[in-house]
Amino acid sequence: MRYYFICNWKMYPSSFGKARALLADYNKFFTPTKKENWINKKIVVCPSAPFFQLFDEKRTHTIKLGSQNIFWKSTGNYTGQISARMAKDFGVEYVIIGHSELRANGDTDILVNLKIKEALKYYITPIVCVGHKDYLRETLNVLNDFSSDEVNKMIFAYEPIEAIGTNNPEDPEKVEKAVRQIKKLIYQRFRKKLFVRMFGLGGNKNNIPKPAILYGGSVNLQNYKKFLSIPDLSGFVVGRESLNPSNIKEIALGFDNSHETR
């Protein structure tokens, strides 16, 4: 199983110098030693766009570059926007789409899907956030607009709005229920297509997608262990805590060790 730790810096730090220092700390903690194995763990750092080039030039190979957002078109007269094409040219491999802070500022379900399509077009992995209002409806909106193969190239993040930036994470039992329901919804959405293939009409019999499902919402070093026993949880989206790379490393290693012993 592969685990993902999405480090959303949001609009921090406040200067290029501070970003460079923070990246140096990330490089220090995530340059692997002989005793550490990061093959099944992805550390994805999503800085503000002005810091893309810094990451493209200076990061260790275990750190993947992500974007906090992209625009829904590749080019055009759109002042202040960043396209997937631009992000890809800076080495971006992942992008957060549908975050509640962006949905609150106008990102509709239609725009979310258009952004996902742009990301996939440029071979960037979409991290699709659900939980702004109704996480099941928001998930189904995505599933209805994409193929099984496309959904398999996504990551879903359950991020209940009441837990975002509040220092009050969701109850682990509710997170477990949400992960289970998202997984069930994906299965139900693509089950009919699977049955058609099973009766010899072509296609892959194992074509039900199994994207990674993460949790995000006030995750930190003090509370992350509460979520480690959740089946099928593949990691976290971390906001404020991502400014402390030593804590991110401890969370990643603790998560992995816990899942290995189940």
Could you list the active site residues? 99, 159
Q: Which residues of 201-235 are buried (b: 16+ CB within 10 A; e: fewer)?
A: eeeeeebbbebbbbbbbbbbeeebeebbebeebbb
In whole angstroms, give the CA distance from residue 262 to residue 259.
Answer: 5
The distance of Cα 240 from the centroid of its chain, to the nearest Å, equals: 15
Q: How far is CA 88 from CA 6, 21, 91, 98, 229, in A?
A: 18, 24, 5, 19, 35
DSSP label of 169: P
For tokens 């949880």, the residue is 233
Dihedral angle computed from the Cα positions of residues 155, 161, 165 and 171, in that order, rounded to the nearest 10 degrees: -80
